[in-house]
């Protein structure tokens, strides 16, 4: 088990500096254009693939970093560049985590490479969990998967929404109900291979922020996939459902479902994304306060501005420490006995909203224009308190965990 440390080692520092350079030289110059276009920045993703950032190997190296700091460090630097473009680069990772968390070794080896493609032919993947009537309330999920035993196929019907890369993905990972009587415990995850009949893109959303990231509905109309596309396999699913039914009879509740396992693994990473956006806005505000003069002196000489910057930096550092702690705990198998993963996501996302708003205030009228990047950062930051569990849901998870109440 790796010791917890707040100091990156030499290799991690080298990776961090490499990512920072890519974010500064490639992502930032393209950020305003792709935000306005509201399109997937395929050229930037391809550049990331060429240098090895958008690849299974890079993601795996960071994911399995024994300190747990590889992923949060990478997310912070990329999202420091721009949240919309960075999400287009890392969005495939949520689907990959879904396979890593629930799949067999064979499924991991087969499908994750197909999620990324290669530098000459980049692909993306989508994780599809939310539905029009089932966002935070996963127990209300209606997408249904029915097993056709004669053909060893699963037939999936339903509509997914808010899916990053939904409809344009090469591989979709879809969460569906297999036993309605078990509520959220009766869910399973499925791989939908490329060009599977019955899967189509529905509405593409025009969003307030992260506009360079594709978000859409995914329609599943009698989609048939082989039995081998059930993540974890049917034997494992049958065993899990049997345990859930037994616990339900006894009034037990603590059985993980596939979607929850994915979100538990990814929440600290989302916190790191928020830290990156907050840090970017803080740095713009700090530089502006040092150079902008009013009444014959830099505005940072005014306590009203200086104290805001002090609070911004303090909150960003605190958020990063919560993210690092949760990430270290996760990689070392430490249980989140106080919902530390949700804590990190909650605090970091709220910090990003607050810090980006303060950055606009420090820049004044300039901050409100698109000539400066903080207005885009503020729009982007709004998503962190919403996706992969709203702030209200994070508080619910934390409160139920520390009180010993069941999390449904």
Catalytic residue ranges: 388
Q: Helices in 364-390 by DSSP H: which ranges?
A: 374-381
Q: Which helix (H) or strand (E) holds 44?
A: helix 42-51
Q: What are phi and psi of 157, to 5 degrees?
A: -135, 140
Q: Are 80 and 282 in contact (CB under 8 A)?
A: no
Q: Are 272 and 72 in contact (CB under 8 A)?
A: yes
φ/ψ region of 294 (left if φ > 0, alpha if ψ in -120 to 50, else beta) reads beta
What radius of gyration do the chain's Cα atoms show?
Answer: 22
Cβ count within 10 A of residue 54:
26
Cβ count within 10 A of residue 110:
17
Residues 6 or more apart in contact with residue 46 via CB below 8 angstroms:
54, 119, 122
Q: What are phi and psi of 224, to 5 degrees?
A: -110, 125
Q: Helices in 255-390 by DSSP H: which ranges?
A: 258-291, 303-331, 340-363, 374-381
Q: What are phi and psi of 235, to 5 degrees?
A: -60, -45
| Distance, CA of 296 to CA of 288 (rounded, Å) | 15
Residues 6 or more apart in contact with residue 227 via CB below 8 angstroms:
147, 152, 153, 154, 234
Angle at 350 between CA 346 and CA 355, to 5 degrees: 145
Residues 6 or more apart in contact with residue 210 via CB below 8 angstroms:
83, 84, 87, 380, 383
């Amino acid at each position: 088990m790796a010791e917890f440390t707040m100091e990156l080692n030499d290799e991690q520092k080298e990776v961090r500096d490499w990512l920072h350079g890519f974010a500064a030289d490639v992502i930032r110059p393209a950020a305003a254009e792709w935000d306005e276009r509201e399109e997937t920045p395929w050229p930037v993703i391809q550049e990331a693939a060429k240098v090895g950032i958008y690849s299974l190997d890079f993601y795996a190296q960071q994911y399995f970093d024994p300190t747990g700091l590889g992923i949060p460090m990478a997310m912070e630097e990329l999202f420091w560049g721009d949240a919309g473009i960075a999400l287009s680069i890392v969005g495939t990772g949520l689907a990959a985590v879904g396979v890593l968390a629930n799949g067999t070794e064979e499924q991991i080896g087969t499908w994750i490479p197909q999620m990324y493609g290669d530098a000459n032919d980049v692909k993306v993947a989508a994780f599809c969990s939310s539905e029009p009537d089932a966002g935070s309330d996963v127990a209300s999920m209606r997408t249904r998967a029915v097993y056709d035993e004669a053909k060893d196929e699963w037939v999936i019907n339903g509509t997914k929404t808010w899916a990053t890369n939904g409809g344009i993905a090469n591989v979709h990972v879809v969460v569906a109900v297999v036993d309605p009587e078990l509520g959220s415990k009766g869910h399973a995850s499925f791989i939908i291979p490329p060009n599977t009949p019955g899967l189509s893109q529905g509405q593409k959303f025009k969003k307030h922020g992260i506009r360079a990231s594709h978000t859409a509905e995914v329609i599943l109309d009698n989609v048939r996939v082989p039995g081998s596309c059930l993540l974890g396999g049917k034997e494992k699913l049958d065993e899990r459902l049997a345990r859930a039914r037994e616990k339900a009879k006894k009034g037990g509740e603590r059985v993980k479902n596939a979607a929850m396992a994915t979100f538990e693994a990814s929440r600290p990473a989302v916190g790191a994304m928020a830290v990156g956006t907050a840090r970017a806005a803080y740095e713009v505000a700090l530089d502006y306060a040092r150079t902008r003069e009013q009444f014959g002196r830099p505005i940072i000489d005014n306590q009203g501005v200086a104290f805001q910057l002090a609070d911004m930096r303090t909150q960003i550092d605190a958020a990063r420490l919560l993210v690092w702690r949760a990430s270290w705990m996760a990689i070392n198998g430490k249980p989140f006995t106080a919902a530390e993963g949700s804590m990190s996501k909650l605090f970091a996302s709220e910090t990003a909203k607050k810090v980006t708003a303060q950055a606009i205030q420090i820049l004044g009228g300039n901050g409100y224009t698109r000539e400066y990047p903080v207005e885009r950062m503020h729009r982007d930051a709004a998503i962190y308190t919403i996706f992969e569990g709203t702030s209200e849901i994070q508080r619910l998870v934390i409160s139920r965990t520390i009180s010993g109440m069941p999390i449904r």
